[in-house]
Structure 1
Amino acid sequence: MASSLLKTYKKFKWLPFGNWLFSKAICKRAPYFATIKPKVTHLSSGRICAEMPNRRAVHNHIGTVHAIAQCNLAELCAGVVTDATVPNHTHRWIPKGMTVQYLKKADSDLKAQAQIPLPREWKDKEDLIVPVEVFNSDGVKVFHADITMYITEKS
């Protein structure tokens, strides 16, 4: 059974500017993500791709994309793909932790992707590690995050 978020994405993606509209809806639900102006470009059960434009508003003092802006992109990807993948009729999830690596200067638009291996058995009180990779416009990996999602059964 697809999550309501995944159903919404499937409806929006066929519309003109559908990915942009879906991304705006995500930011309305979680307003802090709007600070990075993300755009979800693909969403399916177990996989997400998203983009973030390089703008002065997300720069640090040396003119590159700020570390926390990269964390926001990673958290958005991990949260949305988890919501689209975890069977929402039997389980729920909440972010528990994040480990990040800043690999190179991020000085361009960024593209992120996250994948949850499927099929899988969902358990109660499980830590799900969602790896997120972020690449610059040349395809060079600039950032990696492992985001721990705590999965529990609904009672």
Structure 2
Amino acid sequence: MPSTYAMYRKLSALPKGRAVFGQLFSRAAPYFASAHLRIVDMRPHHGEVVVPLRRSTKNHIGTVHAIAACNGLEAAMGLLAEATCPPDHRWLPKGMDVKYLAKSDSDVVCTADSDATDWAGGPEVPITVRATRADGTVTVEGTIHLWVTPKK
């Protein structure tokens, strides 16, 4: 079975390939489907998705719901982890610490970032996450903690 990252690289080179990859990605983790994520980037130490401002992601005040933003952050982290985790290891989210800083009154760009030193200190790996609205304001930021261990 090809790796998720290999599949992304292959599909993203094709017209509408990122959209196809996004549909496959949402099938693998069905709870992402309700957020209607758009995959922007996937590479080692970086993942990026957009959560659109639409009815299924809105809260009672008409902004992107905090949990929809967190789903986007988790999806971005998953892309990063799939592209970064050594093939003989597996990763599991262990926890998420986030702060809600501003209203998300536009689509939000959810990013996840790490560096080699984060992964060298395993098995606990901190991933920095951030959701940003169209005007550049950070609306959610925090850390997703991964547990990275050798496959048995």
Give the TM interval when normalised to the shorter protein. Answer: over 0.9
Q: Which residue of 1 aligns with 2:136?
A: 139
Cα separation, 1, equivalents of 2:61 and 2:50: 22
Structure 2's unaligned 5+ residue stretches are none
8 A Cα contact 2:113 2:128, kept in partner: yes
Q: Which residue of 2 aligns with 1:54?
A: 53
Compute the TM-score of the two structures, normalised by the length of structure 1.
Answer: 0.91
Cα separation, 2, equivalents of 1:67 and 1:121: 28
Q: CA deviation at 1:153?
A: 1.4
Cα separation, 1, equivalents of 2:39 and 2:151: 28
Q: Which residue of 2 aligns with 1:30?
A: 29
| % same residue | 35
Distance 1:116 1:30, change over 3 A: same
Structure 1's unaligned 5+ residue stretches are none
Q: Provide runs of 4+ in structure 1 moved above 2 Å.
A: 118-124
Q: Which residue of 2 aligns with 1:83?
A: 82
Cα separation, 2, equivalents of 1:141 and 1:120: 23
User: How many residues are paired up?
Assistant: 151
Q: Which amino acid aligns with 1:99?
A: D
8 A Cα contact 2:48 2:111, kept in partner: yes
- Cα-to-partner distance string for 1:51-80 (whole Å, 9 max, x where unaligned): 111002111111111111011001111122
Cα separation, 2, equivalents of 1:103 and 1:81: 23
Distance 1:68 1:121, change over 3 A: closer
In structure 2, which of residues 95, 105, 108 is the aligned counterpart of residue 107 of structure 1? 105
Q: Which amino acid aligns with 2:127?
A: V
The alignment partner of 1:146 has SS state of: strand
The alignment partner of 1:129 has SS state of: strand
